[in-house]
Amino acid sequence: MTRSITQVPATRWQRWEFVWGRKTYVMGIINVTPDSFSGDGLGDDVAAAVAQGLRFVREGADLLDVGGESSRPLASARVEAAVSGGTAQEAERVSVEEELRRVIPVIEGLSRQVEVPISVDTTKAAVAEAALKAGASLINDVWGLRRDPALAQVAAAAGVPLVLMHNQAGAHYDGDVVARVMEGLAWSRDMALEQGVPREHVILDPGFGFGKTPQQNLELLRRLGELRLLGHPLLLGASRKSTIGRVLGSPVGERVEGTAATVALAVAQGVDVVRVHDVRAMVQVARMSDAVVRGWSESQ
């Protein structure tokens, strides 16, 4: 039986159209950093990053997400250290110039060779603006406009979608974590709308693993469907996260099965985009989950 999924307006921009509810879109992660929590940071190797993006597209990625600054919070670093026996170390902030040096050549290289949208994962308006000129067509802000509200103005001026993630690292959650996440996302969404971003261009991310305990992350995953009340497409980035490592006792390179479980559960609750490291495997998980949740026929 096909599960009913609440519809939200399609997102149309430039030459793309994402019709939400028809399928789960897969976003492939390209970390152009030396300190990615997931162990897949490619540092200064532009050729390797472009090759990875091309491989992700061949494996079925619907869009690519290029980031030049690790967003690993200290809390997650501590969990990783507990699992691996290493030392906790929070990701370092990088300058605008360094972030541009990392991401622009990769975005330029990919934009000449792929037909899927390229997202720039940044918290800086200056980086986003330059990335869009280099060929990016989407902005992914892991601080939900709390660090640089001008990101909304950049998105509005360029007419591109904006992903807003819930991230209140260091905050103490009293009561219902899902209610707090919805409140935070609504704040970010309203700020974006006030700056001229069209409602259909706002995508929301509950921030799995950011400023939340493992128990709170699991609670959030159980209740993802409630976030659809906000009326926007939902993106989930649980891939290889430390909560999976804590539950399974597995190092970061051995979390494919745990990630697959989060993807399947997310699809079942109507999540629209999954942001993943292991594209080939998660495309298969998403397709099978979609067949169960959204329906399937021989002609598909």
Positions marked catalytic:
241, 275
The span from the CA of 264 to the CA of 224, in Å, is: 12
- Where do the H-state alpha helices sit in 34-159? 46-58, 74-84, 96-111, 125-134, 150-158
The span from the CA of 282 to the CA of 26, in Å, is: 8
- Amino acid letter at 122? T
Pick the closest to residue 89 from 36, 132, 18, 50 (CA basis).
36
The span from the CA of 240 to the CA of 251, in Å, is: 9
Helix-helix angle 256-268:214-222, to 10 degrees = 40
Helix and strand element counts for the chain (H, E): 10, 10
Pick the closest to residue 98 from 35, 152, 18, 153 (CA basis).
35
The span from the CA of 99 to the CA of 80, in Å, is: 25
